[in-house]
Amino acid sequence: MVGWNMKTTCCAAMAAMLAVPAGSALAASPVLQAEQSDVATLPPVGAHWVLPATDRESYTIYDADAGRILGTVPASILGNIALSPDRRTFYVADTIWSRVDHGTRQDLIQEYDAHTLALRREITLPPRALAVYKGQDFDVSPDGKWAYVFDMSPATSVTIVDLAKGAVAHTVDIPGCALVFPWKQGGFSSLCGDGSLTNVGYAGDKPTVTHSAQFFDANNDPIFEQGLVDHATGQALFISYTGKVYNVTLGQRPDIAAPWSIQAAAGQPVAGTGVQEQAWRPGGKQPFAWNRASGHLFVLMHVGPHWTHKTDGTEVWELDPTHHTLLRRIDLPQPARGIAVSGDAAPLLYATSQDGIMTVLDARTGAVRRTVEAHAESMIVAPDLMPGHNG
Amino acid sequence: MKGRGAAHGGRRTTMRQRFLILSLVILPALAVLGLARAAPMAGALPVIPATQGHYLMGCGGCHGIQGRSGREVVPDLAGQVGYFLCTPEGRDYLVRLPNVAFANLSSEDLARMMNFVVFTFGGASVPANSRPYTTAEIAALRANPLRVADLHGYREQIVRAVTHACPAAAGLHGYDVAQAAREGQ
């Protein structure tokens, strides 16, 4: 009641103030026009768009060149986002409860029009794995036909969703394995607890499952969950806690190259597994990014002993994964927990910090272009714009 | 420490002296106030045997520290897991589950842990005259982990045969039914 009275009083006073000069003026009374409502639309997804997860309730779309917010895609702290290869749709895999933190659980993919951000469709899922901000929990096949949703009940499986039909096509158990890394075509691989990859081929009928040989030591030098995939080629980079990089061509029979060391590429001592062994090491919540135009790998690095793989990074190292060389070390203005890089030839590097700040840097010089109080969480998405699609 | 001690002249104390002061002055004072407690002794602390520790580290997070977990989401081990020894395939199944086979343990330690899980948690569900897992058996089984794309279907087959051999095991099906409902089958 008080609020209502206050508001009424306030409005009345405003009306009185406006009425006095209007009444005293001799100008013709204005013609009142009905407001025209419209719906703002977005231009095609740009090379310098970036989507940090923000305030645990959305992904915010930024134009990093203009430093401007373009829109917001709702997603909870458990939500993962992926852009369709044709750049026309944002998919969000999320989990909600009817009474917020309890009640009936609902797992779903929400499909947003990338042009209007209108919610176009919702696809019901079986219970997915609940992880706070992990891009490797959810992905879309490079042909745009299938979505892969990682489930952990805690038995692990992947739900394959037919995106044309908007329905679950198949659930494949991946015992002892986790996460999804899409191939160039026709399937995905997952990382396994025995140091191998499981490879699931699926084209709409019965899945074909193969396993690679063991190639990493899951107990003593595990691979980060945040491995990277180039959707256009099916090339993947898997990086171990000590900084070994495995270049892999994903497929039914993946081609796994002998690992090379990030530190050796940088002329630094190779990091070992000693619990007191100080060395430069990769770390953070989202420690890796891959620039499509140059093929260069960007790694968030810090100095610490073994098992500090979640420690914020103080530098970003730019490496050439083909020639195993260091190109640049970028000293960050403040430690970052996550990075992303745009895919174009004039790349921007994005870094998110504990305090929610997103720093935008010129990846070619390391110069800070912009500091944004973005309320950013650890996950930050630079849309992977594959060649041959224009949105 | 040296420089600091010198600066403070006569007030310099060593660690040992400080400890003595603590013991001689503070502890009796606490005793007078009735606040003193016996210092914790190694023998007085709960000691978790290594085998049980391996279970807690590798399995207990989901299966529960006492082997009870809410059987519809994660199969209960307590009072149930022994039924799998009713068939040879069931016995193998427990070790061929990748999260058992891939455990960061030697086959000897894994054999001890599986025997703890099956015979202690399993209790009355273990068939009479069951023999414990040996190290060699574990080593052979874990080298052949389950790689099936339909693990839940495979489990259902195993459970069906186990229930046929030991009708008391029928409760094992509760998990399969709940899992199928979750996947919308």
Average pLDDT over residues A191-205: 96
Residue B91, pLDDT above cutoff 70: yes
Q: Worst-scoring range by mean pLDDT, A116-120, A339-343, B26-30, B124-128?
A: B26-30
Per residue in A259-279, pLDDT (tens digit) is: 999 999 999 999 999 999 999
**Domains of chain B in sequence order:** 1-47 (no CATH), 50-182 (1.10.760.10)
Q: Does residue B20 sit in helix, strand or coil?
A: helix
**What are the domain boundaries of chain A?**
46-381
How far A44 CA sits from the closest chain B CA (Å)? 37
Residue A98, pLDDT above cutoff 90: yes
Q: How confident is residue B3, by pLDDT bands cut at 50, 70 and 90?
A: very low
Residue A10, pLDDT above cutoff 80: no
Residue B7, pLDDT above cutoff 90: no
Sign of CA dihedral A269, A308, A348, A356: negative
Residues whose CB falls within 8 Å of the CB of residue A320, separated by 6 or more in sequence, listed in order: A295, A296, A297, A326, A327
Mean pLDDT taken over chain B: 82
Residues whose CB falls within 8 Å of the CB of residue A225, separated by 6 or more in sequence, listed in order: A134, A136, A178, A179, A191
What pLDDT score does A26 carry?
A: 64
Chain B: residue nearest A208 by CA? B149
Per residue in A221-259, pLDDT (tens digit) is: 999 999 999 999 999 999 999 999 999 999 999 999 999
Residues on chain B touching A207 (C-beta within 8 angstroms): 149
Alpha-carbon distance A274 to A239, whole Å?
Answer: 18
Residues whose CB falls within 8 Å of the CB of residue B32, separated by 6 or more in sequence, listed in order: none
Alpha-carbon distance A72 to A60, whole Å?
Answer: 5
**HSE-up (13 A, CA, CB side) for residue A26:** 0
Q: Worst-scoring range by mean pLDDT, A249-258, A286-295, B32-41, B86-95?
A: B32-41
Residue B4, pLDDT above cutoff 60: no
Average pLDDT over residues B134-161: 96
What pLDDT score does B40 carry?
A: 53
What pLDDT score does B6 carry?
A: 36
Amino acid occupying residue A325: T
Residue B14, pLDDT above cutoff 70: no
What pLDDT score does A25 carry?
A: 52
Residue A11, pLDDT above cutoff 70: no
3-state SS string for A221-256: CCECCCCEEECCCCEEEEEECCCEEEEEECCCCCEE
Do the Cβ atoms of A176 and B101 come within 8 Å?
yes
Helix (H) or strand (E) holding A317: strand A313-320
User: Which CATH code of 2.130.10.10, 3.30.750.24, 3.40.50.300, 3.40.50.2000 fits the domain covering A46-381?
Assistant: 2.130.10.10
Do the Cβ atoms of A127 and B97 come within 8 Å?
no
Percent of chain A with pLDDT over 70: 93
DSSP B117: I
Per-residue b or e along A158-197, where b marks 16 or more CB atoms closer than 10 Å to that residue's CB: bbbbebeeeebbbbbbbbbbbbbbbbbebbbbbbbbbbbb
What pLDDT score does B42 carry?
A: 59
Alpha-carbon distance A211 to B101, whole Å?
Answer: 15
Average pLDDT over residues A103-109: 96
Q: How confident is residue A28, by pLDDT bands cut at 50, 70 and 90?
A: confident
What pLDDT score does B41 carry?
A: 60
Residues whose CB falls within 8 Å of the CB of residue A365, separated by 6 or more in sequence, listed in order: none
Residues on chain B touching A218 (C-beta within 8 angstroms): 102, 104
Average pLDDT over residues A27-47: 88
Composition of chain A by helix, strand, coil, percent to 5: 10, 45, 45
**What ipTM is given for this predicted complex?**
0.83
Given CB atoms, is A167 within the 8 Å cutoff of chain B?
no
Alpha-carbon distance A29 to A11, whole Å?
Answer: 21
Cis, peptide link before residue A305, omega less than 30° from 0? no
Chains A–B, number of C-beta pairs less than 8 Å apart = 57
Chain B: residue nearest A210 by CA? B147
How far B165 CA sits from the closest chain A CA (Å)? 26
Residue B37, pLDDT above cutoff 60: no
Do the Cβ atoms of B148 and A193 come within 8 Å?
no
Per residue in B70-86, pLDDT (tens digit) is: 888 899 999 999 999 99
What pLDDT score does A34 carry?
A: 86
Both tokens assigned to A170: 């198949």
Alpha helices in chain A (DSSP H): 2-24, 262-265
Residue A61, pLDDT above cutoff 70: yes
Chain B: residue nearest A155 by CA? B74
CB atoms within 10 A of CB A31: 5
Residue A71, pLDDT above cutoff 80: yes
Residue matched to tokens 């009444």: A23
Average pLDDT over residues A333-359: 97
Please say whether the beta carbons of A379 and A58 come within 8 A.
no
Both tokens assigned to B10: 């006569």
Q: How confident is residue B35, by pLDDT bands cut at 50, 70 and 90?
A: very low
